[in-house]
Structure 1
Amino acid sequence: MTNTSETTATRTTTGSDSLGQAPGVWPCLIYSDARAAIRFLVDTLGFSESAVYGEGERVDHAELAWPYGGGLMLGSSKPDSPLRQKQADDGSVYLVVPEDSVADDLYRKVVDAGATITVELRDEDYGSHGFTCRDPHGVFFSIGTYRGHGYAG
Structure 2
Amino acid sequence: MTAGTAGAPTFCPALQYRDAKAAIKQLTEAFGFTRTALYESEDGTVLHAELSFGNGVVMLGSKGNGSPYEKALGAGGPVGVYVTVADPDAHHRRAEQAGVETVLPLTDQDYGSREYTARDLEGNLWTFGTYAPAVPKA
Query: Could you say which TM-score interval applies, normalised by the shorter chain?
Result: 0.7 to 0.9
2:51 corresponds to which of 64, 80, 91: 64
Alpha-carbon shift at residue 149 of structure 1 (Å): 4.6
Q: Percent identity?
A: 36
- 3-state secondary structure, aligned to 2:69: coil
1:48 corresponds to which of 23, 34, 47: 34
1:111 corresponds to which of 96, 106, 109: 96
Task: Answer yes or no: is the 8 Å Cα contact 1:35–1:57 preserved in 2.
Answer: no
**CA displacement 1:55-90 (0-9 Å, x = unmatched):** 344100001111x21110000002522122333662
Where does structure 1 lack aligned partners over 5 or more consecutive residues?
Answer: 1-16
Q: Which residue of 1 aligns with 2:75?
A: 87
Q: Does 1:139 align with 2:124?
A: yes
Query: Compared with structure 1, are the counterparts of its residues 88 and 121 closer, same or farther at alpha carbon in structure 2 (3 Å cutoff)?
Result: same
Point out the structure with the larger strand share. 2
The root-mean-square deviation of aligned C-alpha atoms, in Å, is: 2.0
Task: Answer yes or no: is the 8 Å Cα contact 2:30–2:100 preserved in 1.
Answer: no
Aligned length: 130
Could you state the TM-score of these two structures normalised by the residue count of structure 1? 0.77
Counterpart CA distance in 2 for 1:21 and 1:114 is: 32
Task: Answer yes or no: is the 8 Å Cα contact 2:29–2:98 preserved in 1.
Answer: no
Q: Which residue of 2 aligns with 1:28?
A: 14
Structure 1 counterpart of 2:29, one-letter code: D
Query: Compared with structure 1, are the counterparts of its residues 45 and 110 closer, same or farther at alpha carbon in structure 2 (3 Å cutoff)?
Result: same
Could you state the TM-score of these two structures normalised by the residue count of structure 2? 0.85
